[in-house]
């Protein structure tokens, strides 16, 4: 079975991110339910940092773009599409122009988590504001 994953981290607990950022979980690898080796040993072929771009139903092929912008074709007998989710920025004027350099982060993936950790280390803020009621916003603690 081939699994196409848009991100670099195929298996982690997104709701554990606050515990990693707080230091309660010392190693981010502990957020993974299984390691990449475990997944591959179970028979999964992982295409990480790969984005599906088109499905050719008649040819039973998935077109994708790999990590180096290389195109890939993946043949399939059966296809399951799991689109995942995207974090939503609230409609606050000017928010769409702010990013990590400004101390504003969307927190949805391990990549986002590492960027936040870098920002916290660099900026060393005294306070923070968490906006949102997803897995992360609901679990965030002092």
Within 10 Å of residue 65's Cβ, how many Cβ atoms? 16
| Res 53 pLDDT > 80 | yes
Residues 75 and 16 in one domain: yes
Q: Same domain, yes or no, for 21 and 57?
A: yes
Residues 45-66 have a mean pLDDT of 96
Q: What pLDDT, on the 0 to 100 scale, is given for residue 38? A: 92
Pair (101, 80) in one structural domain: no
Q: Which of 84, 104, 127 is the last residue of a domain?
A: 84
Number of separate domains in the chain: 2
Provide the mean pLDDT of the chain: 88
Its domain, for residue 133, covers: 86-141
Q: Are residues 110 and 72 in the same domain?
A: no
User: pTM, whole model, 2 decimals?
Assistant: 0.75
CB 27 within 8 A of CB 12: no
Q: Are residues 77 and 28 in the same domain?
A: yes
> Tens of pLDDT along 65-116?
999 999 999 999 999 998 877 777 888 899 989 988 888 998 888 888 999 9
* Listed residues 45, 64, 84: the one ending a domain: 84
């Amino acid at each position: 079975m081939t699994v196409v994953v848009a991100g670099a981290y195929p298996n982690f607990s997104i709701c554990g991110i606050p515990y990693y950022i707080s230091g309660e979980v010392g190693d981010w690898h502990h957020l993974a339910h299984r390691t990449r080796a475990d997944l591959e040993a179970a028979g999964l072929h992982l295409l990480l940092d790969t984005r599906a771009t088109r499905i050719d139903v008649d040819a039973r092929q998935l077109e994708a773009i790999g990590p180096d912008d290389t195109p890939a074709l993946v043949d399939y007998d059966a296809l399951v599409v799991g689109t995942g989710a995207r974090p939503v920025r609230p409609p606050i004027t000017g928010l769409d122009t702010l990013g990590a350099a400004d101390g504003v982060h969307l927190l949805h993936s391990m990549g986002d988590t590492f960027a936040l950790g870098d920002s916290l280390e660099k900026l060393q803020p005294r306070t923070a504001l968490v906006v949102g009621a997803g897995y992360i916003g609901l679990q965030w603690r002092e």
